[in-house]
Amino acid sequence: MALYITLLIVSFAIYMWTDLRKQIHMLQLNSYRNERYFDWMKDQKRVEASYLMFGLIISNLALNKMLTPNVYLLMHTTLFLVMRIIHKKHQEKKPLVFTWRVRRLLLTFTLLCAVMLLGLCYLFRATVTYDITFLVGIVNLFLPAMILLSNKINQPFEKKIALDFTKDAMERLSAAPELKIIGITGSYGKTSTKYILNQLLSVGYQVLMTPESFNTPMGVVRTIREKLNGTHQIFIVEMGAKNIGDIKEICDIVSPDMGIISSIGEQHLETFKTIDNVIETKYELAEAVGSKKGTMFLNYNNEYIRRQKLSTPVVRYGVANGTENPLKHYDVWAENLSSGPNGSTFDICQPGGKRMAFETRLLGPHNVQNIVAGTAVAMALGISLEKLAPAVRRLEPVPHRLHLLKNPGRYQIIDDAFNANPEGAKAAVETLGTFKGFRVLVTPGMVELGEKEESLNREFGGQAAKYCDYIILVGYHRAKPIKEGALKAGFSEENIYIAKDIYDALKMADNLANGLKPEEGPMYVLLENDLPDNFLEA
């Protein structure tokens, strides 16, 4: 009997841990925001309902002495193991990190479970062996809800901790009054611009930048507390936003001396709702910088940015398109852009006929815009163009952003996997079009575009049709409008394949490469837009 009870407990623990882990992981991926976690959760089926049914049947049989206690226990053990198998092994691209927050969450959850179980036991006056399994089944059914509740309970503590950390970070910043703080924001291009700026400014200064995906207030606070030291002369802060006030929140912590707005576009429209809200939020940086009489560096290739007028010092940068007079629109600009599979070449120009040629391994006109932004800031901080040229030459593509991977197999991959926005996606396929060979697009479509999502994806399909030879779409739902858009633009249906998931898509790409005739190649594959973990389609 003791053996069977042990088996039961072990199998339960194994099953419970798999489910619990997945739930916490999803919560973490959704930034502990209950609304976002709930959105994901409500679409999930809970097999626990079936367990309850079977469990009830078994309990009934046992109560009626039709099963011995040992067999009863064994059957429950089997049920748990079956459920464990049903909860498929969950492919994680960004794995669960056991932070202190997760541990606090687990503690609260355990206490909550204990309370709930005891309460149910009292309520139903359960006897130990038969009914407790039934009660456990109920707890499991509501596991996601309990995680949500635990998160809610912990919120005030988490808030206090966050506040203390923020205060500490601000104190460290005030202990470094010589530190120049540069904020970067934009609907897209901010991470690329940040990397480029870091490389260029490092020619003459000790630079600290917020690392990849640390563009939230807590991310910035953490960077300051863990990485900032006395040697740093410049601190580059990437500022991300999904709602009005997000940028102001970061600016209140760091007080930037200079700022770059790399672009304004239709990204995160699900939370911003309108483009005007996007503009207002991005310009919170300009307000903060302006209050210190600092200079803003603005991308004047962007229509929305052109329309805003600022009273504080501004440096306008961009890529001249040949039809307008650059002197009227830019203070620093690039001309004579040409690109190919090895990178791009261009001239950087300033008023008064100043001009200098640059080469880079980065692809696409957007990257050139970002380089111009970087050089503009570097020049403002006293680094000459001559010193910048070798640094520009050495620039490495940012991982996952129009990144031409260096070690090709059967085909060469251009990895543009991070959160595609309509402008970026268009530029990516246009860049793909500059390559000579067999051009394949692999994409699941764009997300977080609010109500315009379908039409924007359809538009993307049309653009893809112009520049690609083959399109592989990942996941049926979001990909549908892309297919429609492509077909409408005259793309042939036999050159479109809809894959189950990314692995299936890459398998197809490999098949294509195998079947390629030598005169058709070489083959280039553009990976456009990542697959957020919580949106995998069946």
Beta-carbon neighbour count of residue 418 at 10 Å?
21
Residue of 228, 310, 337, 487 interacting with other proteins (CB under 8 A): 228
Q: From 109-117, 155-163, 424-432, 507-515, give the range in contact with other proteins by CB under 8 A.
A: 507-515
Q: From 21-29, 291-299, 370-378, 391-399, give the range in contact with other proteins by CB under 8 A.
A: 391-399
Residue of 2, 45, 128, 231 interacting with other proteins (CB under 8 A): 231
Least distance (Å) from other proteins to the CB of residue 186?
A: 22
Beta-carbon neighbour count of residue 494 at 10 Å?
7
Which alpha helices (DSSP H) does 228-329 contain, by range?
A: 246-254, 269-272, 275-291, 303-307, 326-329
Q: Are strands 207-209 and 234-238 parallel, antiparallel or unpaired?
A: parallel
Q: Under 8 Å CB-to-CB from 37, ≥6 apart: which residues?
A: 26, 27, 30, 147, 148, 151
CB nearer other proteins, residue 238 or residue 416: 416
Is 229 a binding residue for other proteins by CB under 8 A? The answer is yes
CA distance 64 to 58: 10
CA distance 44 to 415: 31
CB nearer other proteins, residue 208 or residue 269: 208
Least distance (Å) from other proteins to the CB of residue 221?
A: 16
CB nearer other proteins, residue 195 or residue 283: 195
Q: Which of residues 87-126 bind other proteins (CB under 8 A)?
A: 93
Q: Which of residues 448-477 bind other proteins (CB under 8 A)?
A: none
Is 405 a binding residue for other proteins by CB under 8 A? The answer is yes
CA distance 90 to 97: 15
Q: Which of residues 286-325 bind other proteins (CB under 8 A)?
A: none
Least distance (Å) from other proteins to the CB of residue 125?
A: 49
Least distance (Å) from other proteins to the CB of residue 73?
A: 39
CB nearer other proteins, residue 96 or residue 513: 513
The number of residues making up the chain comes to: 538
Residue of 331, 510, 516, 522 interacting with other proteins (CB under 8 A): 510
Per-residue tokens: 450: 């609010």
Q: Please tell me whether residue 2 adopts helix, strand or coil conformation.
A: helix
Is 226 a binding residue for other proteins by CB under 8 A? The answer is yes
- Contact flags string 414-433 toward other proteins, x per CB under 8 A: -x-x----------------
Count of chain residues binding other proteins (CB under 8 A)? 34
Is 220 a binding residue for other proteins by CB under 8 A? The answer is no
Give the CA diameter of the chain.
98
CA distance 184 to 251: 11
CA distance 531 to 520: 30
Instruction: Identify whether the C-beta of residue 508 lies closer than 8 Å to the C-beta of residue 479.
Output: no
Is 394 a binding residue for other proteins by CB under 8 A? The answer is yes
Least distance (Å) from other proteins to the CB of residue 236?
A: 14
CA distance 30 to 474: 22
3-class DSSP string for 523-536 = EEEEEECCCCHHHC
Q: From 71-79, 104-112, 245-253, 394-402, give the range in contact with other proteins by CB under 8 A.
A: 394-402
CB nearer other proteins, residue 62 or residue 531: 531
Q: Under 8 Å CB-to-CB from 255, ≥6 apart: which residues?
A: 173, 181, 288, 292
Is 520 a binding residue for other proteins by CB under 8 A? The answer is no
Q: Helices 128-141 and 48-63, interaxial angle, to 10°?
A: 170
Residue of 42, 45, 88, 230 interacting with other proteins (CB under 8 A): 230
Is 534 a binding residue for other proteins by CB under 8 A? The answer is no
Q: How far is CA 91 from CA 41, 160, 239, 391, 532, in A?
A: 17, 34, 29, 39, 11
Is 408 a binding residue for other proteins by CB under 8 A? The answer is yes
Q: Which of residues 179-218 bind other proteins (CB under 8 A)?
A: 199, 202, 206-207
CB nearer other proteins, residue 415 or residue 459: 415
Q: From 171-179, 239-247, 288-296, 316-324, give the range in contact with other proteins by CB under 8 A.
A: 171-179
Q: Is the peptide bond before 365 cis (omega within 30 degrees of 0)?
A: no
CB nearer other proteins, residue 33 or residue 394: 394
Least distance (Å) from other proteins to the CB of residue 410?
A: 5
Sign of the CA dihedral running 343, 347, 350, 355: positive
* Cα end-to-end distance, the chain, whole Å: 42
Q: What share of the chain is helix, strand, coil (3-state, %, to 5)?
A: 55, 15, 30
Is 447 a binding residue for other proteins by CB under 8 A? The answer is no
Q: From 123-131, 363-371, 395-403, 490-498, give the range in contact with other proteins by CB under 8 A.
A: 395-403
Residue of 41, 147, 251, 391 interacting with other proteins (CB under 8 A): 391
Least distance (Å) from other proteins to the CB of residue 232?
A: 8
Least distance (Å) from other proteins to the CB of residue 397?
A: 9
Is 409 a binding residue for other proteins by CB under 8 A? The answer is yes
3-class DSSP string for 306-324 = HHCCCCCCEEEEEECCCCC
Is 500 a binding residue for other proteins by CB under 8 A? The answer is no
Least distance (Å) from other proteins to the CB of residue 478?
A: 18
CB nearer other proteins, residue 180 or residue 248: 180
Angle made by CA atoms 37, 43, 45, in degrees to the nearest 5:
115
Per-residue tokens: 337: 């852009």
Residue of 84, 172, 361, 452 interacting with other proteins (CB under 8 A): 172
Instruction: Identify whether the C-beta of residue 132 lies closer than 8 Å to the C-beta of residue 55.
Output: no
> Contact positions toward other proteins, by CB under 8 A?
93, 172, 175-176, 199, 202, 206-207, 226-231, 391, 394, 396, 399-400, 405, 407-410, 413, 415, 417, 502-503, 506-507, 510, 513, 527
